[in-house]
């Protein structure tokens, strides 16, 4: 039960209390990461229905407010990772200097531009979607699932921190059991979801490889980038499939 609690505490801002990563088994709690994402998705589906159907807000206003709720439910943690990766991974510098830049709390030009386009893409893709509930639940679950195989394959860029703890503690059993999540998503969404999962796997591998080449491995910021990037890829893929 403590591992489930940690997953929700780590990935959401739901009022469940905070748990220390140093005193907990982050690798074991990864089993519940997609479930925490699913809870975020259920809340967002309710928010979208309330804004669009009950309050009859225009579609664009609804899309923007849903994105705001999406960011709030994660405390902006993953968006902060996007900004830090924009500043660090895109910098012309050594791997060590890039890691230093990513730890700097100040927002640079690359980070601001990257964050702007991520948010613009996310809002635009969500606005154009027809099957919004399916896209939301797939995006929130799949984005928290994809970091599990990535964390198992790729090492941490630092000898400490969340990424190192996750990579060290993640056991093969967790990776195998969590395969149930994409299978359930396929059962819900059918063949379009198979396409979405394939595109997500390719995109996540590209993002992870890029990070490995730039800084030597994963960091907490890179996982934030992976989560946000995966969510956008899911929305864009569903959008392309509905045309």
Least confident piece of the model among 5-19, 140-154, 191-205: 5-19
Is the C-alpha dihedral spanning 183, 205, 203, 160 positive or negative? positive
Residue 17 lies in a domain: no
- pLDDT value for 23: 45
Residue 197 lies in a domain: yes
Residue bearing the bigger pLDDT, 111 or 243:
111
- pLDDT value for 233: 98
Total domain count for the chain?
Answer: 1
Taking residue 55's Cβ as centre, other Cβ atoms within 10 Å add up to 11
Closest listed residue to residue 27, CA positions, set 139, 164, 146: 164
Closest listed residue to residue 197, CA positions, set 132, 131, 145, 126: 145
- pLDDT value for 186: 97
Residues whose CB falls within 8 Å of the CB of residue 149, separated by 6 or more in sequence, listed in order: 175
- pLDDT value for 210: 97
- pLDDT value for 28: 80
Read off the pLDDT band of 21 (50, 70, 90). Answer: low
What rounded mean pLDDT belongs to the chain? 92
The four Cα atoms 59, 63, 69, 74 give a dihedral, to 10 degrees, of 160
Residue 170 lies in a domain: yes
Residue bearing the bigger pLDDT, 8 or 97:
97
Alpha carbons 26 and 7: distance in angstroms, whole number: 8
Residue 15 lies in a domain: no
Has residue 12 got a pLDDT over 90? no
- pLDDT (mean) for 42-53: 93
Has residue 139 got a pLDDT over 60? yes
Residue 14 lies in a domain: no
Residue 18 lies in a domain: no
Residue 184 lies in a domain: yes
- Using one digit for the tens of pLDDT, what is the confidence trace for 168-215? 888 888 888 999 999 999 999 999 999 999 999 999 999 999 999 999
Residue 60 lies in a domain: yes
Read off the pLDDT band of 6 (50, 70, 90). Answer: confident
- pLDDT value for 97: 96
Read off the pLDDT band of 122 (50, 70, 90). Answer: very high
Has residue 154 got a pLDDT over 60? yes
- Residue range of the domain that includes 229: 2-8+26-241
- pLDDT (mean) for 15-25: 57
Has residue 141 got a pLDDT over 90? yes
- pLDDT (mean) for 74-97: 95
Has residue 17 got a pLDDT over 70? no
């Amino acid at each position: 039960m403590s591992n489930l609690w940690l997953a929700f505490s780590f990935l959401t801002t739901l009022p469940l209390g905070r748990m220390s990563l140093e005193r907990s088994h982050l690798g074991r709690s990864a089993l519940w990461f997609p479930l925490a994402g699913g809870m975020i998705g259920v809340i967002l589906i309710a928010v979208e229905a309330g804004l669009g159907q009950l309050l009859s807000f225009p579609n664009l206003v609804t899309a923007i407010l849903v994105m705001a709720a999406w960011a709030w439910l994660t405390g902006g943690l993953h968006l902060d990772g996007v900004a830090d990766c924009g500043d660090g991974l895109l910098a012309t510098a050594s791997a060590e200097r890039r890691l230093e830049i990513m730890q700097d709390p100040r927002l640079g030009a690359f980070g601001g531009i990257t964050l702007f386009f991520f948010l613009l893409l996310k809002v635009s893709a969500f606005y154009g979607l027809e099957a919004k509930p399916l896209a939301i639940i797939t995006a929130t679950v799949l984005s928290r699932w994809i970091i599990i195989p990535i964390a198992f394959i790729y090492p941490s860029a630092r000898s400490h921190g969340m990424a190192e703890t996750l990579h060290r503690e993640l056991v093969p059993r967790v990776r195998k059991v969590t395969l149930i999540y994409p299978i359930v998503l396929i059962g819900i969404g059918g063949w379009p979801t198979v396409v979405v999962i394939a595109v997500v796997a390719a995109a996540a591998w590209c993002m992870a490889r890029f990070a490995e080449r730039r800084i030597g491995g994963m960091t907490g910021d890179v996982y934030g980038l992976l989560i946000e990037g995966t969510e956008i890829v899911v929305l864009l893929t569903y959008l392309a499939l509905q045309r």
